[in-house]
A and B are shown apart, each in its own frame.
Chain A
């Protein structure tokens, strides 16, 4: 069974940057669509963005609130997916989940917590 493990969360000041990582032993990321989903405290799920598998073009798309600030990338040598988050705002606070699946999120990590606060 595929397992996803997120890391890199923490406390950051507004305007700062953070990079989250997602590792999956046994899953070849180049063959998978990977998405990041977040959940603000006490709120619902919000799709953040996605990177397609290489054979589907490897392209990325983002939700409007993060477009231009967040960048999803993949390192095939380490089998890791990243989300680089810049110009962070307090409303970016929440749990960030790494998921895999073509359009639907069929495997989820346990999440990593990001807190944006002064």
Chain B
């Protein structure tokens, strides 16, 4: 069965530090992969997506993610975190040509001043 695992429920980093949020998926074919961010009281905003091609994808707000097929991973990174990045981050996978997203359980990021 398809699944998405975000092993870290909570992560705390200091402002200015680097960040990596982990995402692993279980999928039979090449998936479509997404990272969304949800600020408190807000809906989900797409940060970046991967469909094919270059395995390192750039997104908004200075985020990037790398697709590693051998590790079934799609980790999200940011070189220097800002206090405004405090939010919950969701990884999602979708089968090409279908509508159904499988969401991970989310990672809540706290940023220390």
Q: Tell whether A and B belong to one assembly.
A: no
